[in-house]
Amino acid sequence: MDRMAWQGQGMTRQADGPPEWRGAARGALGAGGGAAGGADAAGDAPAADAAAGLAGGAAGHGEARPHGAAQVLLDLQHISLSFGGVKALTDISFDVREHEIRAIIGPNGAGKSSMLNVINGVYHPQQGRIVFRGEERRRMHPTAAARQGIARTFQNIALFKGMTVLDNIMTGRNTRVRSGLLANALWWGPARREEMEHRRKVEEVIDFLEIQAIRKTPVGRLPYGLQKRVELARALAAEPSLLLLDEPMAGMNVEEKQDMCRFILDVNRQFGTTIVLIEHDMGVVMDISDRVVVLDYGKKIGDGTPGEVKSSPEVIRAYLGAAH
Ligand SMILES: Nc1ncnc2c1ncn2[C@@H]1O[C@H](COP(=O)(O)OP(=O)(O)OP(=O)(O)O)[C@@H](O)[C@H]1O
Ligand SMILES: [Mg+2]
């Protein structure tokens, strides 16, 4: 488990003081603004600082919004999940409120991806309850979760590399196909209207994520950062109410990260989409999330606003553990 590597990505330790969490200045990520704002705000800052945003700006995306009053969309209660002898998650409880950006953070192997896989039905926990939209969810297949409005992106990009951007994004509409096989095969009446509706929606997403220029390019030929954006596009094409993002900015350069942050915030603001975000870059997490849950060795060790979490002694200890 490489804890120190994780720290290097956003949390630095001052010589004789507590760790400093470098939050991205809200303006730098275009709080409702555009890419130009982001580029300008980053200015001539050294790349490392720009990646984490501008030091000292960790206002926290959510602190300006009254999420306390929002309804609970997803409630996870006492979730435990093991793989043979490996306890990936132990008695984890937290909720996700409507329209918030909820971050899950933690060192490598903490159980973050496993948690997303529980939420969208890939893994079935041995213990615990999952309540979605007020109803307890029984054992559920990922396609059923998708039909309920849960979409996701993956830690390792999962796209059809030989297919074009447009066709990949179209696969995001699969769970919304209504007309039958025969009607589709005959390209008849309702099927035709439906196909046009799918295409219209996909074009909307393409415009929204500013990827018009690559719509006919095979995904495998795109640089990594753009592939990540296409994966987000595919998830958005499903018009999800709950969007699960597993390290959407991993491996990106500074500019790509800023773009991705802006898109995530825009999706949240413009469509009201609730977002659960796993991210290692603490500057990003502190800046764009409303609330943060912290996992360590499969256990929850922190839960609260970015401000609360970053000053929690237990969280600080977990991240500095390897140094002591
Ligand atoms: N399918 C699986 N089979 C066996 N063990 C698994 C499986 N998936 C996850 N694990 C184990 O569960 C634990 C949590 O893994 P998980 O991938 O959820 O961590 P993570 O927090 O996402 O880590 P990272 O930051 O490296 O992505 C690890 O010990 C991992 O090896
Ligand atoms: Mg993971």
Q: What is the pLDDT of residues 224-280, one digit of tens each?
A: 999 999 999 999 999 999 999 999 999 899 999 999 999 999 999 999 999 999 998
Which residue range forms the structural domain that includes residue 10? 3-71+99-125+138-149+240-323
Q: Please, how many CA atoms are within 13 Å of residue 198, restricted to the half-sphere of its CB?
A: 22
Going from the Cα of 111 to the center of ligand 1, the distance in angstroms, rounded, reads 6
Would 313 be classed as within a structural domain? yes
Give the residue, out of 1, 90, 104, 113, with the most ligand 1 atoms within 8 A of its beta carbon, to mutate for a pocket test: 113
Total structural domains within the chain? 1
Residue 37's identity, in one-letter code, is G
Residue-wise pLDDT tens digits, 89-110: 999 999 999 999 999 999 999 9
pLDDT in tens, 17-32: 333 343 333 333 333 3
Q: Look at residue 292 and tell me if it is in a domain.
A: yes
Contact between residue 264 and residue 245 where contact means Cβ atoms under 8 Å apart: yes
The pLDDT of residue 322 is above 90: no
Please write the tens of the pLDDT for every residue from 150-164. Answer: 999 998 888 889 999
Residue 220 is assigned to a structural domain of this protein: no
CB 146 within 8 A of CB 238: yes
With the CA atoms of 170, 172, 178 and 181 taken in that order, what torsion angle do they form, in degrees rounded to the nearest 10?
A: 60
174 in a structural domain: no
- Picking from 76, 33, 113, the residue whose alpha carbon sits closest to that of residue 298 is 113
Give the CATH number for residue 26: 3.40.50.300
Angstrom distance (rounded) from CA 132 to CA 76: 9
Nearest Cα neighbor of 205 from 169, 258, 177, 167 is 169
For residue 164, give the 3-state DSSP assignment: strand
Please report whether residue 8 resides in a domain: yes
The rounded Å distance from CA 165 to ligand 1 centre is 29
